[in-house]
Amino acid sequence: MSEPIVQFKNVHKSFGDVEVLKGIDLDISPSEKVAIIGPSGSGKTTIIRMLMTLEKITSGDIIVDGQNLWKMEKNGSMVEANQKHLRSIRGDIGMVFQHFNLFPHMTILENCMTAPIHVKKEEKTEVRKRSIQMLERVGLGDKLDNYPNQLSGGQKQRVAMARALVMRPKVMLFDEVTSALDPELVGEVLEVIRDIAKNDDMAMILVTHEMDFALDIADKVVFLDEGVIAESGSASQVIEHSQNERLQSFLSRFR
């Protein structure tokens, strides 16, 4: 089996006096699709934000592509282990948020082109070609020159996915990407993620409340409860066959 692309080793995270992650251990292999489920407040978004380096860890190790993101100073505070690595890692991790985060003053094509050109310093013609391909892939090839406010929520979310894919990330993070959408728009967004999951080789980590969807696409499901991984295994083991009472009670809300 290949080396994990992402490893959490005994990761703790506190906000002030409140410890929200209490020793997370998690390995994700390069093409693995992992769903994180769990009650509100259990720490799911914090895991994603730490991986995006938007949030520092309090202790432990997060290793991406073989290198630690953080190291502990003598005084116990965490600092960037290697700024160059951290910069390149940020380019290797794509993220889709609940609230799209598109640039309102740019067309959807420009939204897709900006990071590869300005962050990765790639050549414009090639980025434009790839951006159009990705927008076609998510079904928006006829909307290249539209602005985000001319699109539905589902379409905006599909732009956000195309924008992340244009960066050719090694890891894609999806944080409850359907929970801000009107119910009738959820299906089209899940369909695009399903297409990515089935056809692309990158690792994917999805925080989701869509259990049928997780069952369909996830290689591994992790149940986070009060800051610990209370259950982890294949989608079927965790969602259909677990004996964990708190997990069963959590899942009963979705039936």
Map residues 4-23 to x or -, x wherever contact with ligand ADP holds by CB under 6 A.
-----------x----x---
Q: How many residues bind ligand ADP (CB under 6 A)?
A: 10
250 touches ligand ADP (CB under 6 A): no
Q: Measured from the CB of residue 43, what is the shortest distance to ligand ADP in angstroms?
A: 4
Residue number with CB closer to ligand ADP (127 or 181): 181
Map residues 19-58 to x or -, x wherever contact with ligand ADP holds by CB under 6 A.
-x-----------------x-xxxxxxx------------
253 touches ligand ADP (CB under 6 A): no
> Which uninterrupted H or E stretch holds 12?
strand 6-15
163 touches ligand ADP (CB under 6 A): no
Q: Measured from the CB of residue 236, what is the shortest distance to ligand ADP in angstroms?
A: 23
CB–CB of 214/239 below 8 Å? yes
Secondary structure of 18-76 as H, E, C letters: EEEEEEEEEEECCCCEEEEECCCCCCHHHHHHHHCCCCCCCEEEEEECCEECEEECCCC
Residue number with CB closer to ligand ADP (67 or 77): 77
* Cβ-based neighbours of 132, under 8 Å, separated by 6 or more: 109, 141, 144
Please tell me what DSSP assigns to residue 124: H
96 touches ligand ADP (CB under 6 A): no
CB–CB of 225/40 below 8 Å? no
CB–CB of 193/173 below 8 Å? no
How far is residue 30's CA from residue 203's CA, in Å, rounded to a whole number?
5
2 touches ligand ADP (CB under 6 A): no
Residue 11, beta-bridge partner list? 24
Q: Measured from the CB of residue 182, what is the shortest distance to ligand ADP in angstroms?
A: 21
Q: Measured from the CB of residue 59, what is the shortest distance to ligand ADP in angstroms?
A: 16
Map residues 98-117 to x or -, x wherever contact with ligand ADP holds by CB under 6 A.
--------------------
Residue number with CB closer to ligand ADP (41 or 66): 41
DSSP 194-242: HHHHHH--SEEEEE-S-HHHHHHH-SEEEEEETTEEEEEE-HIIIIIS-
251 touches ligand ADP (CB under 6 A): no
Contacts to ligand ADP by CB under 6 A? 15, 20, 38, 40-46
